[in-house]
Amino acid sequence: MRVAILTVSDRSFRGERPDISGPALEQAVVESGWQVVAKAIAPDEIPQIRDQLIRWVETGIADIILTTGGTGFSGRDVTPEATAAVIQRPAPGLPEAMRQASLQITPHAMLSRAIAGIRGRTLIINLPGSSRAAVENFAVVAPVLPHAVQLLGDDPNAEASHSLLEL
C-alpha cells in the first residue's frame, strides 16, 4: 500500500521545531510493510492543508493519506475542517475506534476532533500531533486498512474475505 504523510504544525513548517510525529508515523507505516510515497509539512491553515490533500488525491500518488497534528481544541487546530472540505464520503468508524482505544490510555482522547473520509479512491485519516499518540492511533486502524484499500480499488477479491468471516 502507498501512504502519504502530512504533518500539520506551524512551528515545524517554519523550521522552529523538528517534525517528530511524521517520521514516527513513517516508521510505523514501513514496519507494517507499506510504502511511504510522499511526505510534507503544512502550517495550521485550512487552504494549505486542503490544497496538499487534494494534490495528493488528484495525482493518485497514495492509497491512504495520514495527517498528524491539528486535531485538538486550540483555535489553530483546523485539520478536521480542512479534511472535511476535501472528503466526499465520511468514514466515522475509524476515528471512533481510535478515540475508544485512546480512552483506555488517557481521558484526553475525548478532546480529539479527528475525522476520516474518502475522496475518490483515497482514504484520508487524521491522527493526533503527538508522535506517541499518532503511532498508537495508527496501530488501531492499521489492521483494517488493507481491506479498505481493496474496497476502494473495487478489487473483486475484497468481498471474498467477508464470506470467510461468516463461516
Four-point Cα dihedral 155, 156, 157, 162, nearest 10? 100
Q: What pLDDT, on the 0 to 100 scale, is given for residue 164?
A: 55
Q: What pLDDT, on the 0 to 100 scale, is given for residue 156?
A: 82
State the total domains in the chain: 1
Residue 17 is given by DSSP the state S
Each residue's pLDDT, cut to its tens digit, for the chain (167 residues) gives: 999 999 999 999 999 999 999 999 999 999 999 999 999 999 999 999 999 999 999 999 999 999 999 999 999 999 999 999 999 999 999 999 999 999 999 999 999 999 999 999 999 999 999 999 999 999 999 999 999 999 999 888 877 766 555 55
Q: What pLDDT, on the 0 to 100 scale, is given for residue 145?
A: 98
Q: What pLDDT, on the 0 to 100 scale, is given for residue 162?
A: 60
Q: Could you tell me the CATH number of the domain that includes residue 8? A: 3.40.980.10
Q: Name the residue range of residue 26's domain.
A: 2-166
Nearest to 80 by CA among 90, 70, 93, 88: 70
The tens digit of pLDDT for each residue in 35-51 reads 999 999 999 999 999 99
Cα separation, 135 vs 50, whole angstroms: 23
Cα dist from 13 to 6, 18, 59, 72, 160, whole Å: 11, 9, 23, 18, 44
